[in-house]
Structure 1
Amino acid sequence: MKKTMAILIASFWVGTGCSSKAQTIDTKSSLSDKNATPETKVLYNNLRGLTNTGILFGHQDDLAYGVNWKYEAGRSDVKDVTGDYPAVYGWDLGGLERKSDKNIDGIPFDKMRQYIKEGHSRGGIITLSWHFDNPLTGKNAWDTSPKSLASALPGGESHEKFKSWLDEAAQYILTLKDKNGKPIPMQFRPYHELTGNWFWWCKNNASPEEFKTLWKFTLDYFQKKGIHNLIYVYNTADFKSKEEFLEYYPGSDYADVLSFDKYQYNDPTKDNSFIENCQSQFKIMDEVAKEQNKIMAFAETGYEAIPYNKWWTDTLMKAIGNYKISYVLVWRNHGWQEKEKKMHYYAPYKGQVSEKDFVDFYNLDNILFEKDLAKEKIYKK
């Protein structure tokens, strides 16, 4: 059971404290997919209500591997530390476009399917990203050759290839079903960090209209393929103004969740810029979310190797502040990187310097892990 940490909560959270089920759902809010499955609509509406209760914690690749282990049934670094799983599981579809049997992180797609089903069966939420290859050059997602995005659009030289890639993803997504054979409702975050300059789909590589066309084509194409179980997440990197946040935005009819990614790089005990920048971006995004009646999320964040022992309850909670976001997800626990000669992980493991603080973070009343989420019965009306 969660322990009350009144001082921390008073400092970082202003909420109603009542159950999400008691909240009135705004009927004006609807999914971008007008033919979304009933289960997907229920999840979306319950996620909206749950923002009045707390913030879901998520972790990328959580069930597949951790620091110094891989593919151990039921294991999770997060669970090793807290005794509980994350509420949100992040997975990546990169590799499907090449018909690979493994994704970009080396996880066999067959295993990933089982992990997705497992997390969902316990009441967890699934979010998908896609680091897919450059359709123009065939190189990886980080190849920003000019006109790469435009080549994928209708009439472009890579369009037919790009459609075949969407077919591969659609075919896989259609296999993600629950124990009753129904499609698992999931969040899908395509073309993430679009305001950056490091992926072939980023804003430096396309005009706003080209990006919007790609986004809309992708959503429409998936729906024509019979996919109606996705909640679509619009995701940026840095932005300085409302205008910049919305410059490439496909419109409220083509997005369900607003989010951004931001990582800690400098020592937070000496540099407050991470907190300040997050607060600035949340303020802007919150204004848009309220205007358009959208959910917000902190879709990716973290501090590599978490060297600051109070990062969770101090830095991260201050970065989020009082904003009512749906979830915060930290990146994967790869462990030792031989090429870079360093550790690469974003959630603590047993014995890690921030382990105790992560348990304190877990015990905050407004931070929700899988056991908390299961009580909410988020997949039921």
Structure 2
Amino acid sequence: MGAAAVAASGLPLPAAAAGRATPVRIVDDKATRETRALFQYMLDLRGQGVMFGHEHSLSDGFTFEGMDGESSDVEAVTGDYPAVFGWDTLILNGFQKPGVYGGTEEENIEALSWAFEASDAQGGINVLSAHLYNFVTGGDFWDTAGRVVSQILPGGAKHADFNAFLDRIAAGVKGAKRPDGTLIPIVFRPFHENNGGWFWWGAGHTTSAEFIEIFRYTVEYLRDTKKVRNLLYAYSPNSSFGGDPTTYLKTYPGDEFVDILGYDAYDNSAGSAEWLSGTVKDLAMVVDLAAERGKVPAFTEFGESGEEGRNPQWFTDLLGAIKGDPGANQVTHMLTWANFGGNNRAYVPFPGHVMEADFVAYHDDPYSLFTSDLEGVFDARTRAVKNDPFLHLVTPTDRQRLTTSENTIRLRLTGGHAARATYSVDGGRPVRLCLDEDGFHSAPWMVDPSWLDNRSVTITVNAKVNGREHTDSALVLLGEVAPLPAGWIDDFEGYAGDDLTLSEAYSHVNANTTTLSSDHKGSGSFGLAYSYDFTSAGYTGIGKSVGADWNDFSALKLWVQGDGSTNGATLQVVALGAYFEYNFGLSGTEGQEITAPFSEFRPAPWDTGHADELLDAAHLAEVATFNLYLGYGGTTATGTVYVDDIRAE
């Protein structure tokens, strides 16, 4: 959309700049005037257009090399800049430009500030994502070893290291200023796509409660400890949800900690009707949730994956689907990933690219907004609504397993002062919690060694603020679980009979539910009841980290009871970046042992980069993940299959 059209479009120019100040309720009720105005601008934008965003648009591309604050692949194709500029905390590590590999912390903090300033100078809005390196192993964000979130929470062995990195984020954000000294507003999007299992903060590597607490801690540390006043906070899990708000909210940190409800989705189907329909359905769900909560809805990350350029009209097809839905068309912005140049994928077409003409048409569509379409983004007159007191139990987290007698109860109270704070165990005698030097109300909890027998107890914390009781609680598991034998993935006996603990141990893709079954099992007390729903997507899956050498074994085995359907199951072993699969049917209704020889596994059809590889000794030495997928066979869309005793033998 061009600048001339915006004046006649009815877009929210600086409309709120005059008259009475608009009340806004955001995470930081002490945020700068410009940060509050940005939030209000995005709220007002709903239904009037979708701002286009691009990651690293000013630092990387196919049409330029050096950074001058002006060169951009988006500008090279459209003559315009993205309305939203994405950056990442990898700049602070020196692993992405304008950060410098081997540079000092101070140099890379300044580089992050420069990135925000360069985008702001072009008239855009800044978003910061966070691909955080593994604080336990020192590996990258793909390294899922070490139960990292549990170690960076308060009391964890790597908590101080996490704080130190947050200090660097705070410095880079607070250093982002306009020439007149005004702080530049930034949307911070930490721990994105957490419902997938590919990052160390993702499903199967942390629990929902741990994720919620590390998100809350991050916000509280930046806002309350570091006094960062120019941030809005975004929550952005990954597709797909089948339009189910319950699944989307499973790891939601709470309205007190989120300004923007986001959604990430990549398309490897070349814009198929199924993918477009599912994406629009989920976006409409996010829009509804945002409206209920007074939040901004956004398509926080999107892109075409698979073979590049298969659908030359991909951008306009996607925009058309979003525009055509009265719910999805309320999202405020949609940001695609970076053009890192060289042999990397182009998420935005460059001159001569097969999708260039379509991207120009996407830009010219009146509903697609670029920087030339923005006006008055930071001008609205607003006043912050004071946040209410909020209490939450920080440690231990819900479903956390404690294996030692010495533990610490911590609660955080913001927005008020407690006359008295206490904790109790299973409704027993209240024990006083005292305010400590880190801002928690805390106290030691000595667990009787005889209780470390795989039992569960409920910890409840209470505080009275201005005469009103505030409370929170967590179910805690006590004692070690006997380790499984070598090669075993799961026998479903180590979850204390608790379905939520089971669910938290796996990553989940698309619509499924996992529960423990005492009636359908191969051995022991429990098996897995794996319920599927293909009404929104043609497959579903669960996954678990392995991190083992399987060279002593020749096959994957498991007990399975099918449901008599024409649907199929796929065993997937991920090793050295390759995805090996073995398929079998679910038509049988009697429990049976399935044996899948490693010699019969083949790379997934879509994994073309490893098409000629075998699940050989080199791969078996580095098994990273096991996944169990179910696929639609054309007749039965919902049902339950049962699984037990998954192991390599």
- The answer to whether the 8 Å contact 1:278/1:320 transfers is no
- The answer to whether the 8 Å contact 1:93/1:103 transfers is no
Provide the C-alpha distance between the structure 1 equivalents of 2:368 and 2:36, rounded to a whole number of angstroms. Answer: 24
The structure with the largest alpha-carbon Rg is 2
Query: Which fold has the larger relative contact order, with Cα–Cα distance below 8 Å and residues 6 or more apart in sequence?
Result: 1
* Residue of structure 2 in register with 1:175 after alignment: 175
* Residue of structure 1 in register with 2:10 after alignment: 18
Provide the C-alpha distance between the structure 2 equivalents of 1:366 and 1:234, rounded to a whole number of angstroms. Answer: 24
* Residue of structure 1 in register with 2:314 after alignment: 311
* Residue of structure 2 in register with 1:140 after alignment: 140
* Residue of structure 2 in register with 1:83 after alignment: 79
Structure 1 residue 327 corresponds to structure 2 residue 333: yes
The one-letter code sitting in structure 1 at the alignment partner of 2:46 is T
The one-letter code sitting in structure 2 at the alignment partner of 1:365 is P
Structure 1 residue 257 corresponds to structure 2 residue 260: yes
Q: Select between 256-265 and 141-150 the one with higher mean Cα deviation.
A: 141-150
* Residue of structure 1 in register with 2:119 after alignment: 119
Is the partner of 1:308 in helix, strand or coil? coil
Query: Given the two structures, how large is their TM-score scaled by the length of structure 1?
Result: 0.87
The one-letter code sitting in structure 2 at the alignment partner of 1:291 is E
Residue of 49, 56, 61 corresponding to 2:56: 61
Identity, in percent, stands at 32
- The answer to whether the 8 Å contact 1:133/1:141 transfers is yes
Superposition pairs of residues 1-381 of structure 1, within 5 angstroms:
2=2, 17-21=9-13, 22=15, 29-67=24-62, 69-73=64-68, 74-94=70-90, 96=92, 100=93, 102-104=94-96, 107-108=99-100, 109=108, 110-223=110-223, 224-238=225-239, 239-240=241-242, 241-268=244-271, 271-304=272-305, 305-319=308-322, 321-322=324-325, 323=328, 324-337=330-343, 343-373=344-374, 376-381=375-380
Q: How far apart are residue 357 of structure 1 and its match? A: 1.2
Q: How far apart are residue 362 of structure 1 and its match? A: 0.8
Provide the C-alpha distance between the structure 1 equivalents of 2:229 and 2:320, rounded to a whole number of angstroms. Answer: 34
**CA deviation string 1:69-111 (max 9, x = no partner):** 3224221111111111111100001253xxx4x2346743445
Is the partner of 1:204 in helix, strand or coil? coil
Query: Given the two structures, how large is their TM-score scaled by the length of structure 2?
Result: 0.52
Q: How far apart are residue 27 of structure 1 and its match? A: 5.2
Provide the C-alpha distance between the structure 1 equivalents of 2:148 and 2:67, rounded to a whole number of angstroms. Answer: 39
Is the partner of 2:155 in helix, strand or coil? coil
Q: How far apart are residue 336 of structure 1 and its match? A: 2.7
- The answer to whether the 8 Å contact 2:57/2:73 transfers is yes
Provide the C-alpha distance between the structure 2 equivalents of 1:60 and 1:72, rounded to a whole number of angstroms. Answer: 14
Provide the C-alpha distance between the structure 2 equivalents of 1:284 and 1:186, rounded to a whole number of angstroms. Answer: 25
* Residue of structure 2 in register with 1:10 after alignment: none
CA gap 1:263/1:321 in 2 versus in 1, 3 angstroms: farther
The one-letter code sitting in structure 1 at the alignment partner of 2:332 is S
Provide the C-alpha distance between the structure 2 equivalents of 1:135 and 1:18, rounded to a whole number of angstroms. Answer: 48
CA gap 1:204/1:242 in 2 versus in 1, 3 angstroms: same
State how many pairs are aligned.
358
Provide the C-alpha distance between the structure 1 equivalents of 2:152 and 2:67, rounded to a whole number of angstroms. Answer: 39
Provide the C-alpha distance between the structure 1 equivalents of 2:288 and 2:199, rounded to a whole number of angstroms. Answer: 27
- The answer to whether the 8 Å contact 1:17/1:52 transfers is no
Give the structure with the larger strand fraction: 2
Q: How far apart are residue 171 of structure 1 and its match? A: 1.7
Give the structure with the larger helix fraction: 1
Structure 2 gap segments, 5+ residues each: 101-107, 381-649
**CA deviation string 1:106-151 (max 9, x = no partner):** 7434454333212212321000001011112111111112521111
- The answer to whether the 8 Å contact 1:59/1:90 transfers is yes
- The answer to whether the 8 Å contact 1:60/1:332 transfers is yes
Provide the C-alpha distance between the structure 1 equivalents of 2:20 and 2:345, rounded to a whole number of angstroms. Answer: 40
Provide the C-alpha distance between the structure 2 equivalents of 1:333 and 1:352, rounded to a whole number of angstroms. Answer: 13
- The answer to whether the 8 Å contact 1:123/1:377 transfers is no
Q: How far apart are residue 286 of structure 1 and its match? A: 2.0
- Moved segments of 4+, more than 6 Å: 23-26
CA gap 1:46/1:3 in 2 versus in 1, 3 angstroms: closer
- The answer to whether the 8 Å contact 2:197/2:204 transfers is yes
- The answer to whether the 8 Å contact 1:4/1:363 transfers is no
The one-letter code sitting in structure 2 at the alignment partner of 1:20 is P
Provide the C-alpha distance between the structure 2 equivalents of 1:114 and 1:361, rounded to a whole number of angstroms. Answer: 29
Q: How far apart are residue 47 of structure 1 and its match? A: 1.4
CA gap 1:44/1:3 in 2 versus in 1, 3 angstroms: closer
The one-letter code sitting in structure 1 at the alignment partner of 2:130 is W
Provide the C-alpha distance between the structure 2 equivalents of 1:132 and 1:55, rounded to a whole number of angstroms. Answer: 29
Provide the C-alpha distance between the structure 2 equivalents of 1:214 and 1:41, rounded to a whole number of angstroms. Answer: 24
* Residue of structure 2 in register with 1:13 after alignment: none
Provide the C-alpha distance between the structure 1 equivalents of 2:353 and 2:27, rounded to a whole number of angstroms. Answer: 42
The one-letter code sitting in structure 2 at the alignment partner of 1:46 is Y
Provide the C-alpha distance between the structure 1 equivalents of 2:293 and 2:234, rounded to a whole number of angstroms. Answer: 14
- The answer to whether the 8 Å contact 1:67/1:336 transfers is yes
Structure 1 gap segments, 5+ residues each: 6-15, 338-342
CA gap 1:25/1:48 in 2 versus in 1, 3 angstroms: farther
Is the partner of 1:300 in helix, strand or coil? strand
The one-letter code sitting in structure 2 at the alignment partner of 1:344 is R
Provide the C-alpha distance between the structure 2 equivalents of 1:345 and 1:212, rounded to a whole number of angstroms. Answer: 34
Is the partner of 2:287 in helix, strand or coil? helix
Q: How far apart are residue 321 of structure 1 and its match? A: 3.9
CA gap 1:39/1:2 in 2 versus in 1, 3 angstroms: closer
Is the partner of 1:205 in helix, strand or coil? coil
Q: Select between 202-211 and 21-30 the one with higher mean Cα deviation.
A: 21-30
- The answer to whether the 8 Å contact 1:306/1:346 transfers is no
Provide the C-alpha distance between the structure 2 equivalents of 1:230 and 1:328, rounded to a whole number of angstroms. Answer: 19
- The answer to whether the 8 Å contact 2:136/2:146 transfers is no
